[in-house]
Amino acid sequence: MRAYFGRRYRFSASHRLHTEALSAEENRAAYGKCNNPHGHGHNYIVEVRVGGDVDAETGMVCNLVELDDCVRREVLEVFDHTNLNLHACFEDVVPTTESVCAEIYRRMKGAFHAAEIVAVRVEETNNNFFEIREH
């Protein structure tokens, strides 16, 4: 039987939504107040969902400690209390919530193999979130 397990994590980071591909006016029109030259910050909530068979011995989909360690190493230690615009992974990508979610998903898929990463959801505000998941 396939089961799914989800866990939430939090980190704080700042960013500015801006691209050199647009003029100053176009950036303001596209990103509004999020185009502030000084940037702004969020307290992000990241949800990681894994799926797999329930282990007959442990009764779990995956070892929670291993998942926590992977998220800490691949996400929290990398992005917490940083300016997302300064990360190499966002050098040519605007660090929107969609881009942040995609990067976290990519990192987790590459680093966690004890169970399948089936979805990553990043909540930027109470109203805004983005999710990437397997089809």
Q: Which of 26, 40, 81, 113 is catalytic?
A: 81
Best CA proximity match to 79, nearest among 41, 134, 22, 125: 41
pLDDT tens digits along 92-134:
999 999 999 999 999 999 999 999 999 999 999 999 999 999 7
- pTM greater than the 0.75 cutoff: yes
Residue 81 among the catalytic residues:
yes
In the residue annotation, 70 being an active-site residue is answered as no
pLDDT digits (tens, 9 = 90+) for 50-102: 999 999 999 999 999 999 999 999 999 999 999 999 999 999 999 999 999 99
Does 124 qualify as catalytic in the annotation? yes
Q: Where in the chain are the domains?
A: 2-133
Q: What is the Cα–Cα distance from 132 to 135, expressed in whole angstroms? A: 9
Given 34, 47, 116, 131, the catalytic residue: 34
Query: Under CATH, what is the fold of the domain 2-133?
Result: Tetrahydropterin Synthase; Chain A (3.30.479)
